[in-house]
């Protein structure tokens, strides 16, 4: 057997084994990729649910003003006594509470206190959150976005001595959402993409990539808004999915923060690798190709040996 025929023999042997091997390898890589996506979505779902529960507990613990708005003692207090009690709450937690106001039945301020409070009394009667609080008899709020300060939650609650009683006015609180931003920053470290919070209007309260800091009050990514709309339409409190937008595939998970119309989201590019499995799969395939080439050479040598022995 001449050298040219020997090379042809090795090439043919390698091709016969490489072709089915590479076909199977392609399916192997594709299957591994799908497993990566499923694992990534499961992790994202768990993370958004956990963050939503943490945020709900934090809001209940530190952003609840029902202790004042439903207190007959506070409602029956004098103007100065109310101001003193509200000042005391601000001093207890100045990192959250920045301003308190007492509104009359029409929504106009009659009293305000806090280090950041202006002297001018405002009229909130035309704001949506006041209208909701006045008509629904329950607390209602909205997020305020400032250029150089963290977003603030403005919450209005009716002053009622007992449930079902007529409101004797309203209590307004302005509270910093810096803690919410810190949660997004810390827990977003484990995210493969962007993790954050959006308000009822679809605006970014905070996110781990810092876009909410650069452009306060910007809309959340379109893929996140789509997922939230789908969850609301289906009556679900959380949802995870894979989708495509403008030629790019993405993974997204959203979870509602209990007691609010806010959502936690996590979104990531579906084309990236989410675990080291892709590297190991590629290494296995590469080793398989090398072994086929080596055994093709060994086969050629054995063929030469046996053919010579047969002669």
Whether pLDDT at 310 is above 70: no
- Residue 239: pLDDT band by 50, 70, 90 thresholds? very high
- Say whether pLDDT at 2 is over 60: no
pLDDT at 135: 87
Site of tokens 């008509």: 135
Across the chain, mean pLDDT equals: 84
Give residue 75's Cα distance to chain centre: 39
Instruction: Provide the pLDDT for residue 220.
Output: 92
Alpha-carbon torsion angle 106, 111, 116, 118, nearest 10: 70
Q: Report, as an integer, the average pLDDT of 119-132.
A: 88
Token pair belonging to 40: 């990534």
What is the per-residue pLDDT across 136-178, written as a single tens digit (0 to 9) for each?
888 888 999 988 788 999 999 998 877 766 888 899 999 999 8
Q: What is the pLDDT of residue 72?
A: 84
- State yes or no: pLDDT of 117 exceeds 80: no
CB count in 10 Å sphere of residue 56: 18
Residue 11 reports pLDDT greater than 80: no
Domains detected in the chain:
1-62+177-311 (3.30.450.20), 79-176 (3.30.450.20)
Query: What confidence tier does 197 reach under pLDDT thresholds 50, 70, 90?
Result: very high
Percent of the chain with pLDDT over 90: 33
pTM, to two decimals = 0.76
pLDDT bin (cut points 50, 70, 90) of residue 103 is very high
């Amino acid at each position: 057997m001449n050298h040219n025929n020997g090379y042809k023999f090795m090439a043919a042997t390698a091709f016969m084994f490489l072709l089915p091997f590479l076909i199977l390898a392609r399916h192997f890589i594709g299957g591994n990729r799908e497993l990566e996506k499923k694992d990534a979505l499961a992790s994202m779902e768990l993370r958004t649910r956990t963050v939503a529960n943490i945020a709900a507990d934090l809001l209940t613990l530190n952003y609840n003003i029902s202790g004042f708005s439903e207190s007959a003692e506070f409602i029956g207090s004098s103007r100065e006594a109310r101001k003193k009690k509200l000042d005391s709450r601000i001093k207890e937690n100045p990192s959250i509470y920045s301003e308190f106001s007492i509104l009359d039945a029409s929504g106009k301020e009659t009293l305000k206190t806090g280090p950041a409070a202006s002297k001018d009394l405002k009229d909130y009667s035309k704001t949506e959150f006041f209208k909701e609080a006045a008509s629904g008899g329950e607390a209602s709020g909205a997020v305020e976005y400032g250029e150089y300060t963290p977003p603030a939650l403005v919450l209005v609650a009716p002053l009622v001595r007992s449930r079902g009683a007529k409101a004797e006015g309203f209590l307004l609180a302005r509270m910093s959402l810096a803690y919410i931003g810190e949660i997004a920053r810390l827990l977003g470290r484990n995210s493969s993409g962007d993790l954050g919070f959006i308000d009822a209007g679809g605006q970014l309260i905070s996110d781990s990539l810092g876009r909410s800091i650069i452009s306060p009050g910007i809309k959340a990514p379109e893929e996140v808004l789509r997922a939230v709309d789908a969850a609301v339409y289906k009556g679900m409190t959380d949802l995870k999915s894979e989708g495509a937008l403008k030629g790019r595939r993405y993974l997204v998970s959203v979870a509602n923060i209990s007691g609010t119309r806010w959502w936690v989201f996590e979104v990531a590019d579906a084309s990236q690798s989410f675990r080291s499995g892709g590297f190991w799969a590629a290494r296995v395939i590469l080793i398989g190709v090398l072994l086929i080439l080596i055994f093709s050479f060994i086969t050629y040598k054995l063929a030469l040996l046996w053919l010579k022995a047969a002669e």
